[in-house]
Structure 1
């Protein structure tokens, strides 16, 4: 069984890459000056962001390679397990890496909102592809963080470093929004497949046995992470994937309510609700009246 190397400190990572530790909780590395990562599997205890500038080996998440070619950013959160596979032909890696320990951002603005940056849990085929202008912005943010690392740690260091990381991540939100737009054609394909899967879920009566359809279910069927799928659907439709599913459920409910041979409870169970009162609550929230009232007035 393959050994998994735990990377739980910045100093451990720096020593592996052959670079000096300037700050115990954060590092910015010029990969052209660093030792390549060995072909091993790693359990990250750090947040890590890689900007890759030439093809120089593959990162693997599970059995799949990251969508990680020239000019891309990949985000890794603590707890993720990654494997490194070098190419047959060895290249000196070029690009940059930013890694920071979760302790760095505790008690900061970034610490309060780090979970909101969904791209840390995007999947292997969902890397961020940068334009040249975006790449320069990323490098400028790295440079500011590196500048702070090269100065003696004082009472302002933590705030300034975490603020610059937060600025960089906010830019990444903007860059991902741009990528959703520029990949509009492929995104439309995802939306169409989602709609087909959603219709099939009910036409094949999966709801009565599996319960209400979930965002995670459709993300899995489409080979996307739940967060990436949810962000993509919101970008395309203006509503969340959960709201999209609920809208479809209510549309189907409106049709089935007119089958007077079925009780409201039967309809609720057919649609995947474990408890009829939950169905009634959602229906009233979306329609403005209860299912029984809707059946009566229509």
Structure 2
């Protein structure tokens, strides 16, 4: 087993699995027990991949955690990201994959908005679990793309292929919204822990030693990717995680400002600001008044 394997193109990936390549920039892979040339403990791709795993087939670490694939699971891998694989060499993979190169979508609506599909930066333990009906919709999208690939390329092919990829990704947005709702109890618990995390943070010396709490720092405490954590908080509160952190900081700042024993500069440093001017700017942006004006008014 190689330590790391880099596959730059869709064509290389098809060849890796002994599959005929129908288009250099996009492919639908039906694994159907296909065994690759060689397994690698780490894999890095130059294109986007969406895996639809149908059976338990091994462990993949995408980020910091291992996820045991179950049936009807979608995992998204962005171009350039590394996945760590721990798979028995005698297993026969089952399932499907959509592969598309950034060059395919460059200059298209999907290319301009690909970063909006934040689940490409989720970890494997944040995978999308599908119902049977959702699985059929996914396979229908894959079938339409396969149809275009199998019937030759003409002037309509690229638009139809890209449009179907975008349609598929938009369905995934809906499915993830459903998953956030069905896991509401778990998400609410994380929100409560998030509030506690911020309280504990500001009761420690971390603001002075680390600075303002970042979204990435908070996500790490819950062993979540930054994007998944941010999407979860937005679904639960209607605010981004950064906005939530800033509102917490402003509420604490208001309490401190009313303590006339401390200067505005001291309060800024206590909250984690390196420069008091940055604190004044952030406070005024949120409240409409400067910290000094807020103190005099109250």
- Range class of TM-score, shorter chain: over 0.9
TM-score, scaled to structure 1: 0.95
CA distance in 2, matches of 1:63, 1:249: 29
Q: Please list the CA deviations of residues 119-162 of structure 1 after superposition, one character each: whole Å capped at 9, or x if unmatched.
A: 00101210000011111110011011111111221222111111
Structure 2 match to 1:128? 128
Q: Indicate the RMSD between aligned Cα atoms, in angstroms.
A: 1.7
Matches within 5 A, 1:188-199: 188-199=188-199
Q: Could you give the per-residue CA deviations for residues 19-60 of structure 1, whole angstroms, max 9, x where no partner exists?
A: 110111100011216335743121111100000111122223
Q: Secondary structure at the match of 1:107?
A: coil
Structure 1 unaligned residues grouped into runs of 5+: none
CA gap 1:213/1:188 in 2 versus in 1, 3 angstroms:
same
Q: Distance in 2 between matches of 1:282 and 1:187?
A: 29
How far is the alpha carbon of 1:249 from its aligned partner? 0.3
Distance 1:33 1:221 in 2: 38
Q: Is the 8 A contact 1:36 1:93 kept in 2?
A: no
Structure 2 Cα separation of the partners of residues 165 and 172 of structure 1 = 11
SS at match of 1:32: coil
Structure 1 equivalent of residue 218 of structure 2? 218
Is contact 2:58–2:68 with CA below 8 Å preserved after alignment? no
Asked if the contact 2:62–2:83 (Cα under 8 Å) also holds between the matched residues in 1, the reply is: yes
State the partner residue of 1:84.
Answer: 85
Return closer, same or farther for 1:265/1:142 CA change in 2, 3 Å cut-off.
same
Q: Deviating runs (4+, > 6 A) in structure 1?
A: none
Does the CA-based 8 Å contact 1:37-1:84 persist in structure 2? no
- Pairing of 1:43-58 with structure 2 (within 5 A): 43-58=44-59
1:98 is paired with a residue whose SS is: strand
Shift of 1:93: 2.3
* Residue 289 of structure 1, CA deviation: 1.4
Note the alpha carbon deviations across 1:44-103, whole angstroms, 9 max, x for none. 111000001111222233663235321100000111122333248x44322111111111
| Counterpart in the other structure of 1:148 | 148
Structure 2 distance, partners of 1:62, 1:256, is: 39
Residue by residue over 1:201-246, the C-alpha shift from the partner in whole angstroms, topping out at 9 and shown as x without a partner, is 1001311221111000000111000000000001111100000000
- Write out aligned runs for 1:1-298 (5 A): 2-32=2-32, 34-36=34-36, 38-40=38-40, 41-61=42-62, 64-87=65-88, 90-298=90-298
Unaligned segments of structure 2, at least 5 residues:
none
User: Does the 8 Å CA contact 2:180/2:232 hold for their aligned counterparts?
Assistant: yes
Q: Following the alignment from structure 1 to structure 2, what is the Cα–Cα distance between the partners of residues 104 and 124?
A: 25
52-61 or 181-190, larger mean C-alpha shift: 52-61
Any conservation in 2 of the 1:38–1:84 contact (CA below 8 Å)?
no
TM-score normalized by the length of structure 2: 0.95
Per the alignment, in what secondary structure is the counterpart of residue 124 of structure 2?
A: coil
What is the distance in 2 between the residues matched to 1:267 and 1:230?
A: 28
